Amino acid sequence: MVDVLGSRVVGPLESYAPGFAAGLSRQGYTVSGASQHLCFIGHLSRWMLAGERDVSALTPEVVDEYLAARRSAGYVNYRTVRAMRPLLDYLEPLGVLPQLAPVALGPVDALLERYRGYLIIERGLTAATACGYLSSVRPFVAGRARQDGLDLAGVTASDVNRFVLDACQHRATGSAKLIVTALRSLLNFLHLSDEMAESLTSAVPSVAGWALSGLPKGLRPDELRALLASCDRRRATGRRDYAIMLMLSRLGLRAGEVAALGLDDIDWHAGQFAVRGKGNRLERLPLPADVGAAVAGYLRRGRPVTAQGRSVFVRVKAPHRALTTGGVTMVVFDGGRRAGLGKIHAHRLRHTAATQMLRAGTPLADVGQVLRHRSALSTAIYAKVDREALRMLARAWPGSTTGGAS
């Protein structure tokens, strides 16, 4: 029996407990948090001992069996696979976990894997974008599954049209457009790979949508001040959140670009930093003094010494891994709630940066350069925000006596 941090571990995991505890400490877990994990694996080890199982028996099925038994015993915490993740992550590099036989892919997954490779290698899409495409077209491919494989040669224009109408029903315009775009891409891939003799991309109907029909919803100056003031910069979390929201609102970065920012991307001497944008494009932007000061303040007095990797922004709770795109979104969401502004998404701060630049007199073309738009049409939507400039272009309604737009 080994006693680590006050938790007794006996059984198959006994010899691994000290190393596991040291690993938790290196990842930034508090003594209390590490003790709870040790108590958890102590319970798991006793269960394994009672069932005469060793570490090499920790298959996914055995893990599920243990967690079901723990839930049945009335435990209210550490009841999911997520709770097992720290232990499995520690044991896996040691080579003591069972080696699972590779699972043979079915015809649907096999085709989609080839399509994924095409998107990433041939088309240059990011892994995340490719994942979105695959999710959109999976129902179409699955619908062609037969007992003897996939019936792709028999796809007709009517089949394509029917799928789009069914899949896009009751969906938002953006979601429907993604389905249409992904399906056209898949049909082109199937034609190029000789899975289909004829290209049916022209059979995919378009989604009704009007360019520039929306209005960007940026925050008013007082709302932005309230949002930034909601960060308690006396604490590490507040310093991190303030730096993130300042980057989003001043530079118009996307949430994923902030999450991907690395320590080596910042050139403090030149006052610049590198941004990895859409399509894996790498571009350099100036680092304003106030943004740089906020990031430096977080790095000096907020970023934990146990942070893993070279990401600038990391999780508050251990393990201190890189903050994800969803994590950046939640930072803004929580800030909006604290400031009494309701639900605010990270992209709204990108709109805020654009509208503020436009109202300060920045030409529309320059706004597009800061936002790194490929097309001027993407930036043109912000022209509607500058109402004073539009008022000069408005023509009086025939018969009106005002002589101008009301």
Q: Cα dihedral angle (244, 245, 250, 254), rounded to 10 degrees?
A: 70
- Helix, strand, coil percentages for the chain (3-state, nearest 5): 55, 5, 35
Task: Give the pLDDT confidence score for residue 128 in this predicted structure.
Answer: 82
Q: pTM of this prediction?
A: 0.75
Q: Identify which has the larger pLDDT, 278 or 283.
A: 283
CB under 8 Å to 313, separation ≥6 — which residues?
Answer: 240, 243, 244, 258, 259, 261, 298, 303, 322, 323, 327, 328
- Categorize the per-residue pLDDT at 15 as very low, low, confident or very high, splitting at 50, 70 and 90: very high
CB under 8 Å to 363, separation ≥6 — which residues?
Answer: none
Give the mean model confidence (pLDDT) for residues 16-36.
90
DSSP character at residue 119:
I
CA dist., res. 120 & res. 126, Å (int): 6
Q: Is there a catalytic annotation at residue 144? A: no
Q: Is there a catalytic annotation at residue 70? A: no
- Categorize the per-residue pLDDT at 211 as very low, low, confident or very high, splitting at 50, 70 and 90: low
- Single out the catalytic residue among 53, 315, 350, 351: 350
- Categorize the per-residue pLDDT at 393 as very low, low, confident or very high, splitting at 50, 70 and 90: very low
- Single out the catalytic residue among 90, 115, 242, 382: 382
Task: Give the pLDDT confidence score for residue 310 in this predicted structure.
Answer: 94
Task: Give the pLDDT confidence score for residue 361 in this predicted structure.
Answer: 79
> Is residue 51's pLDDT more than 60?
yes
- Single out the catalytic residue among 278, 345, 359, 384: 278
Q: Is there a catalytic annotation at residue 391? A: no
- Single out the catalytic residue among 46, 79, 276, 347: 347
Q: Identify which has the larger pLDDT, 376 or 301.
A: 301
Q: Is there a catalytic annotation at residue 118? A: no
> Is residue 382's pLDDT more than 90?
no
CATH of 107-203, one of 1.10.150.130, 3.40.50.300, 1.10.1760.20, 3.40.50.1100: 1.10.150.130
Q: What is the pLDDT of residues 174-197, one digit of tens each?
A: 889 999 999 999 999 999 999 998
Task: Give the pLDDT confidence score for residue 63 in this predicted structure.
Answer: 93
Q: Is there a catalytic annotation at residue 278? A: yes
Question: How much of the chain exceeds pLDDT 90, in percent?
Answer: 63
Task: Give the pLDDT confidence score for residue 390 in this predicted structure.
Answer: 47
Q: Is there a catalytic annotation at residue 373? A: yes
Phi and psi torsions of 133, nearest 5°: -65, -45
- Single out the catalytic residue among 184, 239, 254, 303: 254
- Single out the catalytic residue among 138, 372, 373, 384: 373
For residue 240, give both structure tokens: 């991190």
Does domain 221-388 fall under CATH 1.10.443.10? My reply is yes
Task: Give the pLDDT confidence score for residue 406 in this predicted structure.
Answer: 39
